[in-house]
Amino acid sequence: MWDDAPRSRTQGVVRHIAKFLSSLGWCMHITVEALSDFPSVLCRREGRADLVRQLYTTGIRTLPVVTVVSLFIGMILALQVGLELRRFNQEIYLGAAVMISLMREMGPFACGICFAACVGSAIAAELGTMKVNDEIAALEIMSISPIRFLAAPRIMALVVMAPLVAFYCIVVGAMGGGVVGVTQLGVNFTQYMASAMSIADTKDLYVGLLKATLFGLTVGGVSVAEGLGTTMGAMGVGKSTQRSVIVNFLLILMFGYMVTRAFYD
C-alpha cells in the first residue's frame, strides 16, 4: 500500500500536466488558425457583417462597465497616491503618478478584465451551448469551418477593439483621478492635467496599447477554445464559462508582468 500511494500521486500529477499541455496546445491551435482566417473574414460579405456585430458587442456594449471600472480605478489611484504625496507636500505630481500607472498597467488591465468578464464569458457560453446542441457538428457536416465562421470574427473584434477601449480607460481613469484630486486633495485641475501630460511618454502609451492587444487576443483565444471544447451538456457550459474567466484573469496578470519586464528591464 505504501508503494502504491506515491505512484498514484505521481500519476495524478502527470495526468494534470498532460491535460494542461493538451489544453494549451488546443488553445494555441485555435488562435493561430483564427489569425490565419482574418483575411477571409474581411473578404466575405457575411464575414464583414458578422465582424461589425462583434465589434459592436465587444466595444459599444461593454462601455458602461468599462467606464465605471476605469473611473473608479483612476479615483482609487489618485486617492492612495495623493495621500502619500501629501505627506511630502508633493501633490503637484499627482497627475504624473496617476497617468503613468494608467498608461503602463491599470488602463490595459481594466480593459482586459472587463473583456474577460463581459465578452469572454459570453463567447464561451455561446459556443459551448452551440457545441452541446450539435450546432458545431452541423457546421462541420456542411464543410464549414467553425473556427473561420465563428471564432475568427470574435477574436478579430477583440484584437481590434482592445487598444481602443484601453485608451478610453486611460482617459476616463485620468478624469476620475482629477476629480478626486480637486475635491479631496485640493489639487488644481489645470495643474493636475499639466503634470499628467508632461510625464506622458509615447513609449508608455504604446506599451499599454500592446498589452491591451495581447489581452484581447488572449481573451478571444481562451474563450473560443473553452467554448468549442465543451462537453457534458448544460453543466459543461457552466464549467467552460467559469474556466474561461479564471484562465483569462490569470493569463492577463502573467502577460502583463512579462510585457512590463520586457520593455522596462
Rounded-to-integer distance, Cα 61 and Cα 188, Å: 34
Residue 79: Cβ-neighbour burial (10 angstroms; 0-12, 13-18, 19+): middle
Identify whether 5 is part of a domain. no
pLDDT at 198: 86
Domain hosting residue 61, numbered range: 12-263
First to last CA, the chain: 51
Identify whether 7 is part of a domain. no
Identify whether 100 is part of a domain. yes
- Could you say which residues of the chain have pLDDT below 70? 1-8
DSSP, res 91: G
- Centre a 10 Å sphere on the Cβ of residue 17 and count the other Cβ atoms it contains: 10
Identify whether 163 is part of a domain. yes
Identify whether 256 is part of a domain. yes
Q: What angle do CA 197, 112, 135 make, to 5 degrees?
A: 150
Residues 220 and 123 sit within 8 Å (Cβ to Cβ) = yes
pLDDT at 8: 67
pLDDT at 66: 95
Q: Rounded to an integer, what is the distance from CA 184 to the centroid of its chain?
A: 32
Q: Which residues contact 181 (CB under 8 A, 6 or more apart)?
A: 78, 82, 91, 94, 95, 187, 189, 192
Q: Which residues contact 83 (CB under 8 A, 6 or more apart)?
A: 185
Rounded-to-integer distance, Cα 115 and Cα 55, Å: 12
Identify whether 4 is part of a domain. no
pLDDT at 26: 84
Q: How many domains does the chain have?
A: 1
Rounded-to-integer distance, Cα 98 and Cα 121, Å: 30
Identify whether 3 is part of a domain. no
Residue type, 108: P
Instruction: Please report how many Cα atoms fall inside a 13 Å half-sphere around the Cα of residue 224, on the Cβ side.
Output: 29
Identify whether 1 is part of a domain. no
CA dihedral 264, 120, 171, 82 (to 10 degrees): -70
